[in-house]
């Protein structure tokens, strides 16, 4: 009976150690391979445009990481730039398109505006 209890205790101890190792390994493995946002261009110049034009540019957002990239928010620094994202969730190695349409009504000369992309990329949670 004592020998049977020792064997059970040893087996339980081994199971706990192996379980702890697997949990630790899984946490380490996930944290070392986070989602990574990559944007096709850091900026875009629409050039000279007329006030009645509505130029469009499509940026490519790629996930170069190993976990799903989740875009939680896309916003413009003004109402003059409308945005439309093709997908909020981007699997590893895949891309989404961000369509930006500029409305120059009321602007003259050089205009600089920003688009902000918030995601679960731990290195760049708020890309510009």
Q: What is the pLDDT of residue 30?
A: 57
Residues 5 and 41 in one domain: no
Q: Tell me the pLDDT of the chain averaged across its residues.
A: 89
Residues 68 and 10 in one domain: no
Residues 114 and 72 in one domain: yes
Residues 102 and 46 in one domain: yes
Domains: count for the chain: 2
83 Cβ contact partners less than 8 Å away, ≥ 6 residues apart: 74, 75, 76, 98, 99, 100, 101, 115
**Rounded Cα gap, residues 115 and 59, in angstroms:** 11
Residue 73: domain span: 37-127
Q: What is the pLDDT of residue 1?
A: 67
Residues 88 and 28 in one domain: no
- Per-residue confidence band for 12, with pLDDT thresholds at 50, 70 and 90: confident
Is 11's pLDDT higher than 90?
no
Residue 86 belongs to domain with CATH number: 2.60.40.10
Residues 26 and 55 in one domain: no
Summarised one tens digit per residue, pLDDT across range 16-67 is 777 767 777 666 655 568 999 999 999 999 999 999 999 999 999 999 999 9
Q: Positive or negative, the Cα torsion across 101, 38, 124, 42? A: negative
């Amino acid at each position: 009976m004592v020998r049977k209890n020792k064997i059970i205790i040893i087996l339980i101890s081994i199971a706990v150690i192996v379980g702890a190792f697997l949990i630790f390994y899984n946490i380490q493995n996930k944290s070392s391979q986070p989602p990574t946002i990559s944007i096709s261009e850091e900026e875009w110049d629409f050039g000279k445009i007329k006030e009645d034009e509505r130029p469009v540019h499509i940026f490519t957002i790629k996930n170069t990481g190993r976990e799903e990239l989740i875009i939680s928010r896309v916003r413009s620094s003004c109402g003059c730039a409308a945005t439309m994202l093709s997908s909020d969730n981007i699997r590893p190695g895949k891309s989404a398109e961000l369509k930006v349409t500029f409305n120059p009504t009321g602007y003259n000369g050089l205009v600089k505006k920003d688009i902000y992309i918030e995601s679960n990329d731990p290195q760049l949670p708020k890309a510009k």
